[in-house]
Amino acid sequence: MLIKLIIAIAIFIILYLLLIMPKLRTNPDYAKLEGWYYAHRGLHNNRSDAPENSIKAFQLAVDNSYGIELDVQLTKDDIPIVFHDYNLKRACGVNLKTAELTYDELRQYSLFNSKQHIPTLKEALECIGGQVPVIVELKIPWSAKKICKLVSKVLDDYKGVYCIESFNPFGLIWYRKNCPNVIRGQLASDFNKEHLEGSKMQYFILKHLLLNFQTKPDFIAFDHKYKKALSFSLCRKLFKAKTAAWTIKSQKELDECSRYFDLFIFDSFIPKE
């Protein structure tokens, strides 16, 4: 009986490790992403003329030699835009969903009462111009195929250094199949501790990175507050996975995370050199 139990436990552990195993071979282009701090949604201040995910915020990040993390989703007419929320209420003051508006309709609204408007991904990349590396987060509420296909078409014409990341594993699976040379990162957190609405089972799978065997991410982008989570720790220590911390909001947090992560996405402060 004891032997059977030991065998069962051993099989469970092996299966678990196989499920969370990321891509083991480092993409040679990954080195181009290292050595930078990444400004979350650009070097922004939502009470200024350079609010989050605006052209001005991206220009400030470039001017100050920071990499950039930005969010991409689709409009009703399938234009990849740079915008975080699925609703305009917080950023533009109107209770409308981005996916229900065309890009021309979205252009009517300004960001956080500034003179800045929601840019397209193409406009953002033209502003950045390959001067700093870019982390492109794909906002994928449901099906991944359309947004991945349209975003990849824009990125194919971009000559700068970039990678993609997403909470949605199906986005990474699409990229693994169709654009295998593009560096991809799996975003994750302890979703239940964040008290988010949704399936607890789904959040359990995502937190514990149990789809890595399908997504084979080049790096794990993890909420820095949960840097000691089991699956993340195993990916980092056992499989030597590259890691990215999000979102760090003070020098103290940055110092505490320094030995856990390779890339650092910051917000609300300026990191010390």
Is residue 195 predicted with pLDDT exceeding 80?
no
pLDDT of residue 46: 97
Is residue 214 predicted with pLDDT exceeding 90?
yes
pLDDT of residue 77: 97
Instruction: Specify the 3-state DSSP secondary structure of 161.
Output: coil
| Mean pLDDT to the nearest integer, 148-158 | 97
- What is the CB-side half-sphere exposure of residue 227 using CA atoms within 13 A? 18
Return the closest-CA partner of residue 254 out of 232, 269, 235. Answer: 269
User: Could you give the CA distance from residue 148 to residue 136 in angstroms, rounded to a whole number?
Assistant: 11
pLDDT of residue 106: 96
Please state the pTM of the whole predicted model: 0.96
Is residue 265 predicted with pLDDT exceeding 90?
yes
193 versus 247: the higher-pLDDT residue is 247
The amino acid present at 51, given as its one-letter code, is: P
Please give the full DSSP string across 186-233, using - where no structure is assigned.
EEE--TTTTT-SS-HHHHHHHHTTTTHHHH--SEEEEEGGGTT-HHHH
pLDDT of residue 24: 94
- What CATH number labels 37-266? 3.20.20.190
User: Could you give the CA distance from residue 227 to residue 243 in angstroms, rounded to a whole number?
Assistant: 10
| Mean pLDDT to the nearest integer, 226-235 | 97
Answer whether 149's CB lies under 8 Å from 171's CB. Answer: no
Distances (CA, A) of 170 to 79, 179, 212: 20, 13, 11
**Across all residues in the chain, what is the average pLDDT?**
96
Task: Give the pLDDT band (50/70/90) at residue 2.
Answer: confident
Is residue 68 predicted with pLDDT exceeding 90?
yes
| Mean pLDDT to the nearest integer, 234-263 | 97
| Mean pLDDT to the nearest integer, 16-34 | 96
Helices (H), ranges, the chain: 2-20, 55-63, 89-92, 103-106, 121-128, 145-156, 169-178, 200-207, 212-215, 230-237, 251-257
- pLDDT, tens digit, 9 for 90 and up, residues 91-127: 999 999 999 999 999 999 999 999 999 999 999 999 9
Is residue 273 predicted with pLDDT exceeding 80?
no
Instruction: Specify the 3-state DSSP secondary structure of 260.
Output: coil
User: Could you give the CA distance from residue 116 to residue 49 in angstroms, rounded to a whole number?
Assistant: 7
